[in-house]
Structure formats: C-alpha cells, structure tokens
Amino acid sequence: MSLKSVKEIEKNRSELELVIEKPAFDAEVMRVYKKNVSKINVPGFRKGKAPKSIIEKIYGSAVFYDEAIDNLLPQIYADAVKEANLEVVSRPDIEVVSIDDNGVLLKAKVYTKPVAEVSKYKGLEVEKEKVEVTEEDINAEIDAARRRNSRLLTVTDRPAQEGDDVVIDFEGFVDGVPFEGGKAEKYTLKLGSNTFIPGFEEQIVGKNTGDEFEITVNFPADYNAEKLAGKEAVFKIKLHEIKKTELPELDDEFVKDVSEFNTVEEYKEDLKKKITERKEKIAENNFEESLIDELLAHTAVDIPAPMIENEIDGFVSDYEYRLSSQGANLDMYFKYTGMTMEQLRESFRAQAERQIKTRLALEQIIKAENITATEEDLENEYKKIASGYNVDIEKVKNSIPAENLSGDVALRKAVEFVKANAIVK
C-alpha cells in the first residue's frame, strides 16, 4: 500500500501522504548503486569496484536517494491516486518529508477535477433563426459561378473604368527621389480593389491605353513604412492595357458547363436546396452555441488554474499543427505578427474556460440523467470515423478503444438531451 492518508487542503486541492516501504526503497537504492558505480571514481579502488558503503561515506548517505525515489515515485503515485479515487487535473507538487527506518514518507499536493453545479438544464429558452432562402441568395450563388467562369477581354474603344484590370508601369517619388518598393513593370491592378494607396486607383480611371501620366497621392499617417508615412508621393505611370471582365450568360448551355443539370430551372432548384442546407446548418450551430451559453449561465464551478493551462496547451498544440500544415511554425508566426507566446496563450484563455465549463456541466447532466453510450451509438461512431477517413471500420476499432469514444458520445447525447428539452423561440 502506497497511500497513507488523503485530505482536502482547499477547494479542488488535495494532499496525499505516500509511503515507499523500506525494503522496496533499499532494493531500489541498490539498483541505482549498481547502475552508477562504474561512473564513480573512488581513490584506492578500481573504477566500478568501490563498495556502496564507501561511496556513501564519501559522497553522503543520500547519494543514491533522489534517483531511487524518482524511479519508484510514478507507480507509487499512480497507485495512491487510484486508491484515493481522485480525478487529478495537475502535476503533483512532491515533497520528501522523511527518509528513515520506516521507509520514505512523501507528500503530493494536487488539484482535482471540480464538480459543476447546474441549477437548470431543462426548459432553457433559446431563439433559433428561421431559415429562408431568397432570390437574392440564389442569384448571388449564380453570380459567383459566373465570375468563376468569366474571361478577360482587352478594351481598346474606351478609357479605363472602375472594375477594369489595367496593366501598368509605375515608379514612385518622394521629394523627387525614388523610394524602395515603389516601382514595377507590367503590373496588373484591378481598379476599385483598394489594394493601393488611397487615391491611386481613382486617378487611373478615365485614362486610355498608351497614356503616360503622373498622379499625386499621400501615404497614410499610419503607413507601415515609417519613412513614407504621411508623405506626399508622385507616381509616373504608363498604361499598357485595359481589360474588362466578361461574364457568361445565364442560360442552359452555361448550366451544362458548370453543373450536372440541363436547365436553368433545375440548376436554381439545386442551388436553393444547397443554400437551405447550408443555412440550416449555420442556424443549428448558432442555436446550439446559444443553448450552451444559456446552460453556462445556470452553471457554477471553480476551475483550478492548472486545468485551464492544460486546456490552453491543447489549443496551442492544435494551432502549431495547423501552422505546420501550411509550411510555417510558431517562431515564424511570432516573428511576422509581433505576438508572444504569452499573448497567444492569453488569446485562448476565454475559449479554454468556456470549453472546460461546458464539459463539466454536461458531465453533471450525464450523471443526473444516466446518459450512456450504447453499443449502437459506438458502432455508429466507428462507421462515421471510418467513412470520414475512408478506412476499414475494423482498423478504426483496433486503433481506437471503445472507452475512448464513449465519453465523447455521451457528451454529445447530453447536448441533444438539453436541445430536446429546450424551449425554442
């Protein structure tokens, strides 16, 4: 037995007294001695041949204690936590109290999982958006498809106008001196995109192909290049080409090119169906978020700081993984954004607290309503995962134990329970 006693020293924090029995400790000290003796030089003895008692006399009786305790502690601590029936949410703060003829006495202070108090979870009143699909919604989808299938045509019979793509040479000057980054040749710019300095694009409108001209603009006071911020600049420009976007006509031929349908009517009906599904999914997600907000308004819980930090660790790891999938990393992100790790972690704090509080509230609902993950639930979850990753379901079952899924499934069922018992406005 490794657990001597356990007591709550403050809310959600406990102290365990652990004992390493003397025979087990002595045996481990001997193993540590045998492992390290070959590395210790003792005058008068060949390397690796010095007796344990001599080494302890020279280096102190505790020379092998730390490593012996480190070796034994993980299993001793795990057994004690299990025996105490604690759900620990932090690393233990270990203190060696004594080492004597009775063995080793240690204290481990840990934060434990809090219990949420949910005052109400049935009859929560939440608004749900009514889904409507308008002609404007459908036309917007059609216009997007037409733009994706548009083509650029060179214009020769009129001056440039907003919405055109123009091909230009330009060179900028401040106080008559060209500045770095202010020159380009055969640059394509969409007029009205507002990608250049304010006033730049507007002064190209009305010019014709072949025109060479100057425009004057003022860099914004908060411009990212300090040497240019607030300065007046003159740009010399040559307009090489004007292009306009031509959209395809909305007819049956266009529909056949961009979809599996043959007529405009069929295409519009399919778009309406897809837009409806998309809006319903958004409305359902928003409803669920509002429902969780309402549930949390009726939930009280003190979350230990280490629990929040652990949750933030997960968010940071996920964020780092997403960056790596884009060929970047956190160091690059911090360099280009000026953000620090502390600021990044702080940006996740509110989300981490909300996620923990939600999970704790749902766990209380699971307990109160005896919600469980049935065999059918787990089978459906395995099928869903297998389908999502396009792998054989048996491979999924072999790689993910059922107990790892049951908790998540029960949480989702608890959410569905709250939704089913909500008052939808």
pLDDT digits (tens, 9 = 90+) for 393-403: 888 888 888 88
Q: What is the mean pLDDT of residues 160-178?
A: 94
Dihedral Cα 286, 288, 292, 294, nearest 10 deg: 70
Supply the pTM of this predicted model.
Answer: 0.75
**Average pLDDT value over all residues in the chain:** 93
Kindly give, in sequence order, each residue whose CB lies less than 8 Å from that of residue 202, ignoring residues fewer than 6 positions away. Answer: none
The reported pLDDT for the residue numbered 1 is 57
Tell me how far apart the alpha carbons of residues 350 and 342 are, in angstroms, rounded to a whole number.
Answer: 14
Q: What is the mean pLDDT of residues 150-176?
A: 93
Q: What is the mean pLDDT of residues 191-213?
A: 94
The reported pLDDT for the residue numbered 56 is 87
How many other CB atoms are there within 10 angstroms of residue 117's CB atom?
13
The reported pLDDT for the residue numbered 38 is 86
Q: What is the mean pLDDT of residues 3-30?
A: 94
The reported pLDDT for the residue numbered 354 is 97
pLDDT band at 222 (very low <50, low <70, confident <90, very high): confident
pLDDT band at 370 (very low <50, low <70, confident <90, very high): very high
Q: What percent of the chain has pLDDT over 90?
A: 80
Q: At 16, which helix (H) or strand (E)?
A: strand 13-20
Kindly give, in sequence order, each residue whose CB lies less than 8 Å from that of residue 30, ignoring residues fewer than 6 positions away. Answer: 52
User: Mind giving me the DSSP string for 47-81?
Assistant: TT---HHHHHHHH-TTTTHHHHHHHHHHHHHHHHH
The reported pLDDT for the residue numbered 224 is 79
Q: Please name each of the domains of the chain with its CATH number.
A: 3-113 (3.30.70.1050), 151-246 (3.10.50.40)
pLDDT band at 176 (very low <50, low <70, confident <90, very high): very high
Q: SS3 for 352-403, per residue?
A: HHHHHHHHHHHHHHHHHHCCCCCHHHHHHHHHHHHHHHCCCHHHHHHHCCHH
pLDDT digits (tens, 9 = 90+) for 50-74: 888 888 888 888 999 999 999 999 9
pLDDT digits (tens, 9 = 90+) for 351-363: 999 999 999 999 9
Question: What tokens does 146 get?
Answer: 């037409």
pLDDT digits (tens, 9 = 90+) for 77-133: 999 999 999 999 999 999 999 999 999 999 999 999 999 999 999 999 999 999 999
How many other CB atoms are there within 10 angstroms of residue 116's CB atom?
21
Tell me how far apart the alpha carbons of residues 143 and 276 are, in angstroms, rounded to a whole number.
Answer: 18
Go through the chain and tell me how many residues it has.
425
How many other CB atoms are there within 10 angstroms of residue 235's CB atom?
21
The reported pLDDT for the residue numbered 227 is 85
